[in-house]
Structure 1
């Protein structure tokens, strides 16, 4: 199946690359896994606020589905008072590069942050898209609320 790039796709900017590097430095400094090992902390994420501040998070792997790095970074931003978020990225430890969000993260982003730009990896290289484009025909959580 060919990869369909959403209409909201944009090439990376210098600030996108800065966010990727911030996430990479965070996971490289905090991973608990050796190069050929599994660990509890193997993914890093970073989110940028509208005022330019960046916040990072790392995952906590657990067989029950522990929090993904993206969700930890979103929580860190909120805890610091950042209410308007513009960009998000996740990266793997040991230089594994940009990683696309899992289904749970995509649903949360679509529900609560549909206008945040998410940096994705693709065969042609990384780019950013609006979170609302991550799940075509997604379940609409807001429409189901009473």
Structure 2
């Protein structure tokens, strides 16, 4: 039970921090150019991803048609406690990260990324929550079926 409350806390704090950093990135002219550390290898840079993950060429509207129902199904499963108890935390991380990125798509026409990594990539905390949730679901030895 302790790990479930830790995951819930991580999801809530991650969502709040992601939303705050996105607002900061959108309002900071310096982040348009980027603020880097480690010899320009890592830092903060505003990037609007109008496509799918890793900038795959899937239009924003198509992504929303997929994301909104998927988030609704995840949310309903968690709310009605239809998800296996051990899967609820990881699914919550996926849902909250997807929700934050869906909000971006609705209001900004794409996902606001702000963490710049080497070779030109960028991501945000919501992306990390989705990946962490998916990774936790893949942990060997965990059973997520009823």
More strand by share: 1
- With normalisation by structure 1, the TM-score equals 0.26
Structure holding more helix per residue: 2
